[in-house]
Structures are given as structure tokens and as C-alpha cells.
Amino acid sequence: MRLPTFVSLFLLVISQTVLSSPCVSFDSSFNLLAFGLDGKDWNAGTQESWANGTAADITANGRPPFDGVNTTCYLAQFFNAVYVLNGNSSDSSAVHIYDAAGKSWSRQSVITGSFDATNFAAILDHDTNVFYALSQGSLFYLNMGSMTSANSTAISWIDADKSPYPSSYTSPVMALAQNHIHFLDVPGVPAGSADIFVIHYNYFQPASQPYPVAGGGTIPATQGKTASFFQAEGVQQEFAFIPEDGSATYVINVETNTTEAYTGPSTKDAAATYAASITALVQLDSKGNVMFFPYTEGDVSVNTAATWTKVAAIAAVAPATSSSASSSTTGTAGETQTIISGGGGPTTTGSASGHSSGSLAVRMSGPLAAAGLVGVLACVL
Ligand SMILES: *[C@@H]1O[C@H](CO)[C@@H](O)[C@H](O)[C@H]1NC(C)=O
Ligand SMILES: *[C@@H]1O[C@H](CO)[C@@H](O)[C@H](O)[C@H]1NC(C)=O
Ligand SMILES: *[C@@H]1O[C@H](CO)[C@@H](O)[C@H](O)[C@H]1NC(C)=O
Ligand SMILES: *[C@@H]1O[C@H](CO)[C@@H](O)[C@H](O)[C@H]1NC(C)=O
Ligand SMILES: *[C@@H]1O[C@H](CO)[C@@H](O)[C@H](O)[C@H]1NC(C)=O
């Protein structure tokens, strides 16, 4: 790195550094949705159209800027809505709601109370449409009711219960299946076992549940990401766990209490995030590449032969950044948002199911913005 100029140092000090966080999710027909990629939102259609074709631009008014850290997106399957947490770095408490049928956005006001909206892991319970989040040692919930758009009444995070987990469990790895929240990588729990919270009984199951890998082996006790496979009807019964080293794709079945180990994603990226449909697991890596693993519930031999494939329909319209630093500038009058992605930017550390990407964005407002871009590039080049 060249010596930064005085001007660039000055501008870096006054600029606010945030991380750009796109996310992937689905609508209830399992069209693949990618939000905040190259500053826009995309619908790649259903799975047969991912390998070719072109994603449709669904960028609409009222969307969050997807400039937050740890932005996460959740499909409310019964309501054909996607809920976005931390979609706006300046408004971390809000839930942004994408009504997939109406292709419209709204912003739900949320009262956080003692909930730390900047540091948590969460799942959206399938049957009740309630978020459960572990934050600062407590389990909180937020009832989304049947919302496909925000209503004028604020909703509140409620502190449900102190968790029984050690205070060192600061980056929870949470997964949902069969209305049970699974906590992986809990300190003191043997590798291959999960601790469980039973949603309908508000109950932390005292004993850990082992999920042995078929044919031998153990899910490693490590950080990683999760995604629950939906069902055509009813609640999820399986979830994927991708350890942060990307060495395998574990699929945990909570009916049989067993695990299958399949090939890991081609891109090993601790900061990648994941979403699952009924028949696919999708990876969004920190450079903005979207890949998928076709998945057939109950067919181990087909899944064993399956390979990770690029979602070309998204790459065609929102190409990932190259390995060297690159920048793009978006924004409206009075505000310039410079996004520097790729190898040149710092990456966030792998964090539970908290989703984050490694793209560095620097936001500046007003007349200094253009000068700021020059200053930032001076540091990066
Ligand atoms: C697109 O991909 C699908 C599945 O891979 C294939 O069946 C179809 O023929 C392809 N269409 C075109 C136009 O290439
Ligand atoms: C993000 O939040 C800030 C603070 O509430 C708000 O002023 C701004 O309009 C929001 N941005 C978008 C694009 O919604
Ligand atoms: C992102 O999530 C991680 C892990 O939960 C947390 O340590 C970090 O503080 C979060 N950062 C922000 C800015 O929300
Ligand atoms: C807003 O939505 C919440 C959650 O579904 C619900 O409890 C509340 O009654 C709604 N308020 C109004 C005014 O519709
Ligand atoms: C699987 O684990 C759950 C949770 O511990 C338990 O309730 C259930 O009885 C187990 N099922 C089987 C088939 O072992």
C-alpha cells in the first residue's frame, strides 16, 4: 500500500465506514431473490432458470439500502413476504418487509427494549411467524403476526428467557427445524450434538441432541452458517450447516436425528451466507457470487453426486467483483456511496447465522463525497 496522503487520511477519519450486505432469499413459489447486489434487487426465477437466463430487476421504492452489517433476510412462507433485519445501517431496529406478491416494500417500526439490534442471531419460526433471537445471553422474540406490509403500530422485541448457555457463546449458530431451534457450537457441548429450544413449549431442552453423520464422522464443533430446507407443506425438517472452512455441507434431519455429509461449496468463504428452498441450497459469497447446490430430500445418492453450480442468471446482470479491489458509486443527490469490494477490503469474521459480506463500503454525504472517493482510492491503490 502506498503512503496515504494527508487528504485521504483526513477523509477516512470523517467518513463513516460500513459494510455492504446483500442477502439471498426466496418467495413462496421459490423464485430466488437476491437483494442489494450491485445496488439492486433481483428475481432469478425458479431453479430451472438459474443456470441460464437473466434475473429480473425488482428494485423498488422503499427498499432498505442493504448497507448494514450482518443483514439477514427471512422468507415468511405462509405470507409470501421477506423480512429484512439490519437492512439499513442507520436504522438497525427496523424490519423491512418485502411483499413478494405486490413487489413492494414497507418499513415496520420496532421497539427494541433491551434487545441489541446490532448483535444477535435469529431464526423466523415457520408456523408462528415469530422471530427468535439470541442476543447477549437472552432469548428474545418478535411477533410478525401475518404481516406482508408494515402497520402503523410498532412491534416489540420481548425478552423471553435467559439462555442456559455460557456467556462465552457470543456468536450463536442457530438453525430451525420442526419448530425447534438448534444451537450449534455451544461451548461444552460435544462435537456433533446440538442444544435445543422447543418453541411451542418455551423450553430449553436440558440434554443435548446428537446428530451422528451417516457412515461415521461428526459435525465439527465450529462456527458456520445454516439454512433450513422448506417443505412443500408444513414445517422444515432438515437444515444445512456449512462450517466456516466450507469443508462439507452437512444436512441434519431432525426426524431421524442423523446427518448426511455432502460436498462443501466450491467457494470456501467464512463470510458467505446461505438460503434454502425445498430443492436447493444457495450460497452468496462475500464477492457477490451466487452458487447453488441442487438438493433432493430423502435421496442420498442423488445428493452425493450433486455439484455446486453458478446461478448464471444473477451473474449475467450483477457480476461479482473481481479478486482485486474495485469500486462502484451509487446514490442519490447529496449522498455518494462508494462501494469497494473484493480482496482490497476487510472482511467481517464469520458470525453465526448473522449474515455479512466482506465488501467494504464508505459512505459520505455532501460536497466532500467526490473528494472522498479520490482519497479512498488513494489508500486502496
Ligand atoms: C437452461 O437450463 C436448463 C436447465 O439447465 C435447460 O433445460 C434449458 O434447456 C436451458 N435453456 C437454454 C435456452 O439454454
Ligand atoms: C435509513 O435510515 C435512516 C434513519 O432512519 C433514514 O433517514 C433513511 O431514509 C433510511 N434509508 C432508506 C433508504 O430507507
Ligand atoms: C455482527 O455480528 C457479530 C456476531 O454476532 C457481532 O459480533 C458484531 O458486533 C455485529 N456487528 C454489527 C455492526 O452489528
Ligand atoms: C400490527 O401488527 C401486529 C403484529 O401482527 C399486530 O399485533 C397489531 O395488532 C397490528 N396493529 C395494527 C394497528 O394493525
Ligand atoms: C430426535 O431428537 C428429538 C429431540 O431431542 C427427540 O425428541 C426425538 O425423540 C428424537 N427422535 C428419534 C427418532 O430419535
Is the Cβ atom of 52 under 6 angstroms away from ligand 1? yes
Dist. CA 151 → ligand 4 center (Å):
6
Ligand nearest to the CA of 79: 4
- 159: pLDDT strictly greater than 80: yes
Q: Which of 68, 63, 131, 48 is nearest to 100 (CA)?
A: 63
Dist. CA 255 → ligand 5 center (Å):
7
- 63: pLDDT strictly greater than 60: yes
Query: Across the strands, what pairs with 280?
Result: 294
Q: What average pLDDT does this structure show over 342-348?
A: 29
Which domains are assigned to the chain?
6-10+325-380 (no CATH), 19-315 (2.120.10.80)
Ligand nearest to the CA of 156: 4
Dist. CA 88 → ligand 2 center (Å):
7
Residue nearest to atom 3 of ligand 1 (CA): 48
pLDDT, one tens digit per residue, over 178-203 is 999 999 999 999 999 999 999 999 99
Rounded-to-10 torsion of CA 221, 222, 228, 229: -80
In order of 152, 221, 320, 380, the CA distances from 261 in angstroms are: 46, 15, 28, 40
- Residue 205: pLDDT band (50, 70, 90) is very high
β-pairing verdict for 359-365 and 16-20: antiparallel
Is the Cβ atom of 90 under 6 angstroms away from ligand 2? yes
What percent of the chain shows pLDDT beyond 70? 79
Task: Extract the runs of DSSP E, i.e. beta strands, from 165-310.
Answer: 173-177, 180-184, 193-198, 203-204, 209-210, 224-229, 238-243, 248-253, 258-263, 273-276, 280-284, 290-294, 309-310
Dist. CA 223 → ligand 3 center (Å):
14
Q: Which of 143, 153, 157 to mutate to test the pocket of ligand 4 (most atoms within 8 A of CB)?
A: 153
Q: Which atom of ligand 5 is nearest to the CA of 254?
A: 1
Query: Of 34-38, 98-102, 160-164, 375-379, which gets the smallest average pLDDT?
Result: 375-379
Dist. CA 51 → ligand 1 center (Å):
7
pLDDT, one tens digit per residue, over 66-118 is 998 889 999 999 999 999 999 999 999 999 999 999 999 999 999 999 999 99
Dist. CA 82 → ligand 3 center (Å):
21
Identify the sign of the CA torsion 358, 133, 78, 100.
negative
Q: How far apart are CA 204 and CA 162, in angstroms?
A: 10
Residue nearest to atom 7 of ligand 4 (CA): 145
Q: What average pLDDT does this structure show over 135-151?
A: 97
Is the Cβ atom of 208 under 6 angstroms away from ligand 5? no
Q: Which of 119, 120, 165 to mutate to test the pocket of ligand 3 (most atoms within 8 A of CB)?
A: 119
Residue nearest to atom 6 of ligand 4 (CA): 145
Is the Cβ atom of 296 under 6 angstroms away from ligand 2? no
- Ligand 4 pocket: which residues have CB below 6 Å? 143, 145, 147, 151-153, 155
Is the Cβ atom of 257 under 6 angstroms away from ligand 5? yes
Q: How far apart are CA 142 and CA 124, in angstroms?
A: 9
